[in-house]
């Protein structure tokens, strides 16, 4: 998922560069600081008014994660949990302590900590469900914000173009000057349309897709953790987690092979 997003941006950018080269290749026209200021500044300003500063900063983190982090494979996560179950069975919950350091995912760390602390299954279940709900809300807020920005960008592009047109029309001396004014004014509209359609709008969609996938993985993990907390065997932990995975994908995992490695 990570690389596809980046490649998408680069391909989209390359297509526009091809268009610029084909029409004369005057790239300097498209580097216009005041136009960037109006479109990007205006969009960020209106987003700060709608959302809180904290949320605006939060979405940057979410976007970075969406663009650069790949979701782990289901089979890897299941294998990880099967390993934990084996350790738990063999050496007791306290032996999981060493695994926490390498777990990576804060959700998983928190879940394992609760198992080590010997919390009740109901408490763990409730807490993890709450965490998943917070995750969904953060994603939904991020998506809403990206959609708001995707709508604001073209609007501020138009605002910038109108600023340019008003000044150009009030001062029409030579056709050449008119043309230059028009070109500068239209760059704002270009920025608005380009950034919204290649960045904010598809990224809002991607966040929605990724949210689904991540929530699914977290729910699968929660099932596994609960089975471990109940002291179930590695084999039954695998079975519980696989009941979350569709029949289609089950074939990708070879149970006998993995259980042996975990045991």
The rounded distance, in Å, linking the Cα atoms of 228 and 234 is 8
The rounded distance, in Å, linking the Cα atoms of 221 and 146 is 28
**Under rule CB under 8 A, which residues in 98-127 are in contact with its own copies?**
127
User: What token pair was written down for 5?
Assistant: 């997003």
Figure out which of the listed residues 47, 79, 83, 242 binds its own copies, where binding follows CB under 8 A. Answer: 47
User: What token pair was written down for 172?
Assistant: 């029409």
CA-based angle 202:157:27, to the nearest 5?
85
Q: State the nearest-atom distance from the C-beta of 217 to its own copies, in Å.
A: 15
By CB under 8 A, residue 259 contacts its own copies: no
Figure out which of the listed residues 82, 187, 228, 262 binds its own copies, where binding follows CB under 8 A. Answer: 187
The rounded distance, in Å, linking the Cα atoms of 76 and 217 is 11
Q: Which is nearer to its own copies, 87 or 132 (CB)?
A: 132
Figure out which of the listed residues 194, 221, 222, 241 binds its own copies, where binding follows CB under 8 A. Answer: 194
Q: Which is nearer to its own copies, 79 or 189 (CB)?
A: 189
- As a whole number of Å, the CA-based R_g of the chain is 26
By CB under 8 A, residue 159 contacts its own copies: yes
CB 123 within 8 A of CB 206: no
Closest CA to 221 of 249, 242, 252: 242
By CB under 8 A, residue 16 contacts its own copies: yes
Task: Give the torsion sign (CA, 87, 91, 94, 98).
Answer: negative
Q: State the nearest-atom distance from the C-beta of 95 to its own copies, in Å.
A: 27
Figure out which of the listed residues 139, 206, 218, 238 binds its own copies, where binding follows CB under 8 A. Answer: 206
By CB under 8 A, residue 243 contacts its own copies: no
Q: Which is nearer to its own copies, 102 or 247 (CB)?
A: 247
**Under rule CB under 8 A, which residues in 53-82 are in contact with its own copies?**
53
By CB under 8 A, residue 224 contacts its own copies: no
Figure out which of the listed residues 100, 109, 155, 263 binds its own copies, where binding follows CB under 8 A. Answer: 155
Q: State the nearest-atom distance from the C-beta of 29 to its own copies, in Å.
A: 5
The number of residues that bind its own copies (CB under 8 A) is 88
Closest CA to 120 of 130, 109, 128, 108: 128
Figure out which of the listed residues 76, 104, 117, 169 binds its own copies, where binding follows CB under 8 A. Answer: 169
């Amino acid at each position: 998922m990570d690389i596809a997003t980046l490649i998408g941006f680069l391909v989209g950018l390359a297509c526009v560069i091809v268009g610029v080269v084909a029409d004369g290749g005057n790239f300097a026209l498209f580097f216009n600081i005041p136009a960037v200021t109006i479109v990007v500044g205006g969009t960020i300003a209106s987003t700060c008014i709608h959302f809180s500063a904290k949320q605006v900063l939060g979405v940057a983190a979410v976007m970075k994660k969406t663009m650069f982090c790949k979701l782990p494979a289901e089979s890897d996560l299941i294998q990880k949990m099967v390993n934990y179950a084996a350790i738990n069975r063999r050496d007791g919950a306290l032996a999981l302590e060493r695994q926490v350091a390498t777990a990576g995912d804060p959700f998983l760390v928190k879940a394992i900590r609760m198992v080590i602390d010997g919390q009740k299954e109901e408490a763990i279940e409730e807490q993890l469900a709450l965490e998943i709900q917070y995750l969904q809300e953060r994603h939904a807020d991020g998506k809403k914000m990206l959609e708001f920005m995707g709508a604001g960008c073209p609007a501020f592009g138009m605002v910038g173009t109108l600023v340019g047109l008003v000044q150009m029309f009030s001062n029409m001396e030579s056709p050449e000057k008119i043309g230059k004014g028009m070109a500068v004014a239209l760059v704002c509209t270009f920025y608005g349309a380009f950034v919204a359609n290649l960045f904010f709008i598809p990224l809002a969609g991607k966040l929605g897709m990724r949210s689904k996938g991540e929530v699914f993985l977290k729910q699968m993990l929660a099932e596994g953790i609960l089975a471990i907390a109940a002291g179930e065997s590695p084999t039954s932990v695998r079975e519980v987690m696989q009941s979350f995975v569709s029949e289609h994908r089950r074939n990708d995992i070879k149970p006998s092979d993995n259980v042996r490695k975990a045991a």
